[in-house]
Amino acid sequence: MSDSNSLIRCGWVSNDPLYQDYHDHVWGVPVMDSQELFAKLCLDGQQAGLSWITILKKQKNYEEAFLNFDPEKVSVFDEQDVERLLLNPGIIRNRLKVNSIIRNARAYLKMQEQGIDFVDFIWSFVDHKTKQNEFKQLSHVPATSEQSDAMSKALKKAGFNFVGSTICYAFMQAVGLVNDHTTDCHCYEKVRALGRK
């Protein structure tokens, strides 16, 4: 059994055990649960201007602060809730980012009311199957794609924010719409096998 630090991983992963665990078990694995997709999209939005590890370290705090990202509960947060959240040292205390999660919860529920299934909506940008990339090194992995551009545009139109194309592409990578593990990474084949076909 090789020890965790000797495994070949994607170039963006540090030696932080939390980061390695996220990379090895979460990143790129297809997500087929609406609320989980919503939570991950909101967390990716919090990353804007920061590194993902910053958000990853605060994920549990976010889950507590935003009631496990339950859109029904978050959608009724008011100005008092925003002020309370801005005093929470466990999350990024940025008014625009805090408000974005509340706004996104309302947009999510509006889509639901219109009969749009969030899983179907998100996966429609890749025709409901994982795009299997074969990048040999990190420098070949793009920051955006045609699909992330389209997703960003559609989400903004639906009322979401902090959903630029770069954030959407990072989200697509995280939830398995694309397999962007580099081909030398020990997770590449595993994630390839798990991809939607």
Split at pLDDT 50, 70, 90, the class of 51 is very high
Is the pLDDT at 83 greater than 50? The verdict is: yes
Domains, the chain, with CATH or none: 31-194 (1.10.340.30)
Q: Which helix (H) or strand (E) holds 155?
A: helix 146-157
Is the pLDDT at 32 greater than 90? The verdict is: yes
Secondary structure letter of residue 179 according to DSSP: E
Amino acid at 65: A
Q: What's the pLDDT score for residue 4?
A: 63
In the block, which residue shows the tokens 């947009």? 107
Half-sphere exposure for 180 (CA within 13 Å, toward CB): 21
Mean pLDDT (whole number) for 78-105:
98
Is the pLDDT at 40 greater than 80? The verdict is: yes
pLDDT: is 159 or 4 the higher one?
159
Please enumerate in sequence order all residues whose Cβ is within 8 A of that of 99, keeping only pairs 6 or more positions apart, or say none. Answer: 82
Split at pLDDT 50, 70, 90, the class of 2 is very low
**Using an 8 Å Cβ cutoff, are 130 and 30 in contact?**
yes
- Tokens read off for 93: 């205390």
Q: Which of 144, 82, 75, 79 is nearest to 111 (CA)?
A: 75
Q: Long-range contacts for 54-59 (Cβ within 8 Å, ≥24 apart)?
A: 54/92, 55/92, 56/18, 56/19, 56/22, 57/18, 58/90, 58/91, 58/92
pTM above 0.85, yes or no: yes
Is the pLDDT at 1 greater than 50? The verdict is: no
- Tokens read off for 75: 């959608």
Is the pLDDT at 5 greater than 80? The verdict is: no
Is the pLDDT at 29 greater than 60? The verdict is: yes
Mean pLDDT (whole number) for 164-189:
98
